[in-house]
Structures are given as C-alpha cells and as structure tokens.
Amino acid sequence: MSILVVGGAGYIGSHAAHILRRRGYDVIIYDNLSTGYKELAEGFELIVGDIADASKLGAALARSDAVMHFAAHAYVGESVENPRKYFKNNVTSALALLDAVVESRVRKFIFSSTCAVYGNPVKVPITESNPRQPVNPYGATKLAFENALEAYSQAYALRYVSFRYFNAAGADDSATIGEHHEPETHLIPLILQTIQGRRSALEIFGDDYPTADGTCIRDYIHVNDLAEAHVLGLEYLSRGHSIAMNLGTGRGYSVREVISAVEKVTGQSVPIRIGPRRPGDPPELVAEPARAEELLRWKARRSLEEIISTAWSWQQKSQTAIREV
Ligand code: UFG
C-alpha cells in the first residue's frame, strides 16, 4: 500500500513517513519545501510541488492508495497578523488538494487538525463534542477544512480521519529527524535553545493564570505517538468509517513543570524571565483521548521525559543536520 505524505518534509509529516516505512508501507513525500526541509525527507522519494498544483498531484495520486495531509501553516500569532496567508494555504490550496483527491481513485484521507478548533474549551479535559469555536484564524482555517472533509465524504464517498493534535513535541529516537521551525516559537525547543546558550532566558508568558502554579497547562504528546496513530487511522479507514478524534495524552503539564522536567533530563538549569501573557493562550488545554483509544486501540505511550530527552538529542544535532537556507 502506497501512502502520499503531503507535507512529509515537515516536522510531524517526516515522523509519519518514517513510522509508515517501518510498518511496511510505501511512502511518497510531496512537499513544496516552503517550511519543510529536504534533509527531513532524506531516503524517501520526494516530489517537490505545491498542493495547488493539480497536474503534479494527479500524477502522484495515480500511484497512491491513501493521502496524509500535513502541509499547513501553523503559527497562531502569524495567522492573526497575516490571515490571508493562512486562508490561502490552509483552505484555498488545501481544497485544491482535496479536489485532486476526489478526481483520483484515492478514497482514504487523513488530515492534521488541531485542538485550536475548540478555541476556549467549555470543559477540560476536552472531548470531541466540545463546540468548535476557534479563537484565531489558524484554528478557523483548520475548522474550515474539517467542514469541507465532512461534506466531501458524504457527497463523494471519501473516507477521512481528522486528527486534532494537542502539543506535538519530541523527536524520533534515531535523532535523524526532529522539530526545526524558523522562527521557533514552541516551548520545549525554546527551553533547549536557552540551555544551549542560544537565548539568554526562557520567557514564561504569564504566571498569573488560574492554574496551580500560575502558568499555562498543555497536553504534550510525543510526535511518534502521533505518527503511530496515523498508521492505525489508515486501518480504521479500511474498515469503512470517517471520524474526527483528539490525539493527546490526557495529562497536562504547566510551563513551570515542563521547565523542571527539562532541568532534570538535561542536568542543567534554565534561566527564566516572567513576561506578560501571550494573547490568545487559554489557561489549560488537555485532551480527553478516550475516542482514539477505543476506536484505534491506540494510546500515547511516551512520557514527558522521553519527549524531552529525544528533543534534546535532536536539538544538539539539528544545527548541523539541517543546512540553513
Ligand atoms: N510558552 C512560554 N514561553 C515561550 C513559549 C511558550 O511560556 O517562550 C508557553 C505558552 O504560553 C503556552 C505553552 O508554553 O502556554 C506552550 O506554547 P507553544 O507555543 O509551545 O504551544 P501552543 O500551546 O501555543 O500551540 C499549540 C500548537 C498550535 C495550536 C495551539 C492551540 O503548537 O499548533 O497549540 O492552542 F494551534
């Protein structure tokens, strides 16, 4: 079975490509390398193309049995400042991808959605029935695509799984692939860069939230746990269903707890500075992962310590592993 991994030269997509190959699937990576890196696709067939390029996609789809779509812009802050960029890529171009799929014989589609579709949750842990009311353009674009998938699946017999990721983190044990964003905005890589001396201090965005230690709580999930769910998602699609589900651990950690865990794993202390709240950050986002556990027989297996230790191994290599462009 051949899987077209769209956005497979990015962080989560490259991990999915590796896990798929380890499970015996054939993988074709399709990526325009706008935010992806060819180094992350090394050893795979890589088609450099845009998701709006129907003819290039059509040729790739003709050789594929299923599509995984990871190709999206994913900075909440940037989406507020430049919503056009987000609606153009994450909606307009993504719909061109979906149209190309419908025109092909491929009927299995896995979509990288996000907990940002929930906005400020009415209840934590968050179940899939929480109202979808995004509070930023990034979440709105992901919700728009979820809605399109639902309609397309009814009309065109397309089967899909929308996976709503919580906070993806960590790296493959091989330390050959990992998280590399320009600019980096995510908590764990920023803490590690601070330890490396590349930043003077880690700024905590607010310590006056209504949480036990005043800092925000998030559900950090190892990227390979996410990737494994995608493989199980393919099997689920073979059973003929479509669904949206959360991918999280069900356990939240505050920013301060993450910093302490990094200090424990690396044996180094992290200089911190307390800054103002970052606009749009809800105090607590934790998944209720029961649906994925039941329907996929999946469970996030890797701990916060494993997330940090694999991210740390990768972080120490990534500056040379990825040539800056
Ligand atoms: N944080 C800091 N200092 C930093 C960076 C982050 O205190 O320098 C805090 C944030 O305020 C937040 C937590 O660390 O409380 C995690 O922040 P990240 O930026 O790593 O992740 P987010 O929770 O903001 O973002 C994630 C996904 C997005 C998704 C969003 C939904 O990466 O794709 O959750 O809210 F949209």
210: amino acid identity, one letter:
P
Catalytic residue among 30, 75, 138, 236: 138
Annotated catalytic residue 138: yes
pLDDT of residue 23: 98
Please determine, for residue 320, whether its predicted confidence score (pLDDT) is greater than 90: no
**How high is the pLDDT of residue 325?**
39
Query: Which of these, 70, 61, 49, 73, lies nearest to 7 by C-alpha position?
Result: 70
Location of structure tokens 């960029």: 85
At residue 184's C-alpha, the angle toward residues 14 and 121, to 5°, is 85
| pLDDT confidence tier of residue 324, bands split at 50, 70 and 90 | low
Give the tens place of pLDDT for each residue, 186-232.
999 999 999 999 999 999 999 999 999 999 999 999 999 999 999 99
Nearest Cα to 145, choosing from 51, 225, 219?
51
Q: Quick one: which atom of ligand 1 is closest to the CA of 116?
A: 31
55-88: pLDDT as tens digits: 999 999 999 999 999 999 999 999 999 999 999 9
For a pLDDT cut of 90, what percent of the chain falls above it?
A: 96
Read off the pLDDT of residues 235-266 as tens digits, 9 standing for 90 and up. Answer: 999 999 999 999 999 999 999 999 999 999 99
- Pocket around ligand 1: residues whose beta carbon is below 6 Å from it? 74, 76, 114-116, 138, 167, 185-187, 190, 202-205, 216, 218, 255, 278, 281, 285
Q: pLDDT by residue (tens digit) across 300-310?
A: 999 999 999 99
Only one residue has tokens 């450099």, namely 48
Pocket perturbation via mutation, ligand 1, pick of 70, 133, 187, 202 by most ligand atoms within 8 A of CB? 187
Six token digits for residue 19? 């896990």
Residue to substitute in 79, 166, 191, 218 for testing ligand 1 pocket (most ligand atoms within 8 angstroms of CB): 218
- Name all domains of the chain by residue range, CATH numbers in brackets: 2-169+220-247 (3.40.50.720), 187-218+250-321 (3.90.25.10)
Q: Would the pLDDT of 316 be above 70?
A: yes
Mean pLDDT, the chain, integer: 97
pLDDT per residue as tens digits for the range 263-272: 999 999 999 9
Mean pLDDT throughout 280-284?
93
Rounded CA-CA distance 149/158 in Å is: 8
Pick the atom of ligand 1 nearest to 255's CA.
14
* Contact present, 134 and 285 (Cβ < 8 Å): no
* Residues 258 and 219 sit within 8 Å (Cβ to Cβ): no
Burial 81-114 (b: 16+ CB within 10 A, else e): eeeeebbebbbebbbbbbbbbeebebbbbbbbbb
Task: Give me the torsion for CA of 38, 229, 315, 114, rounded to 10°.
Answer: 90
Rounded Cα distance between 133 and 6, Å, is 27
Cα(35)–Cα(14) distance, integer angstroms: 12
Tell me the per-residue pLDDT of 133-184, one tens digit each, with 9 for 90 and over.
999 999 999 999 999 999 999 999 999 999 999 999 999 999 999 999 999 9
